[in-house]
Amino acid sequence: MSRDIRLGQLLTLISVAIEGLFPAIAHAATGLLPPLWFLAVCQLASCLAYAVIITFQGWRREIFTLETLKSAIGVAVCIVVVPYGLIFLGTRLSTGINTGLMITMEVPFTAVVSWLLFRESLTRWGVLGVGLTVAGALAIFGETTHGGIGEAMILLAVILLPFGNRFAKRAFLTLRGSELLCFRSFLAGVILLPVSAFVEEWPSFPLPPFALRWMALYVVILVVGKLFWYAGLKRLRLVDAVSMLAVAPAFSLVFTMLLLGERPTMLQLTGFILSLAGVALITNIRSAKTVV
């Protein structure tokens, strides 16, 4: 294994640890603020942070091309606008623990989509892992609120994420991670803010301090976590990068318990164990025999 691949794995793992905060923050914040407004404002705030980073790196004229814009729009729509919009809306009808566990379904979806559409290998261990992760999701549906509507919305959201990551891989041919994130955040914020104005009642100002704290935490995740994620993704195959999410359920569960005070039920623990085992098996995708 090359040093560059090891570095990619380390960067991705750090990103996963940071983003383990996301389910707890999303669930808490959407209980205080309109979900789409919260998402749009945080995206625009993170865009400013990325712009500062790019200013220190130096702006490059060649990033402003039609091909770059197409890839950035694909990333913004397939990762932020639709999926995260659904996640933020869905978590209001779910719990923090269920949100974190359902997001883990990105791993088997990525494995299957990459195999079917992008001709990336899928191993027998990977197939078993997909089955276990799906079984974990089904167990979670036995412990839902609002008839499982929130969980279904989150599940629908993660189906689109592999396509967004594919756009991101293409964008890396011309963009650095900070440049892609700046474009992505700006486009997502510009699209989401008018939608929020049309369908939501905006909060009154000034915002309470605890709401501002959740917003600040999410911006940190968007800036620091995503920089590590794209730095790792640039060095790894898509399915290998996503398979590093094997430990994501553990991080999400711990942070949700610490920040929200939620305690997992037996069904949620069952779903957690199945999901953790399934995602861990998918990480063996490079060492087991390939399914053709």
For residue 291, the model assigns a pLDDT of 38
Q: Is the pLDDT of residue 36 over 50?
A: yes
Q: What are phi and psi of 135, to 5 degrees?
A: -60, -40
Range of the domain at 173: 3-291
Structural domain total, the chain: 1
For residue 143, the model assigns a pLDDT of 67
Q: What is the overall mean pLDDT for the chain? A: 82
Helix, strand, coil percent values for the chain (each to nearest 5) = 80, 0, 20
pLDDT in tens, 103-142: 888 878 887 887 887 777 777 777 888 888 888 877 877 6
DSSP 148: G
Average pLDDT over residues 206-219: 87
Q: 270 CB contacts (<8 Å, ≥6 apart)?
A: 136, 139
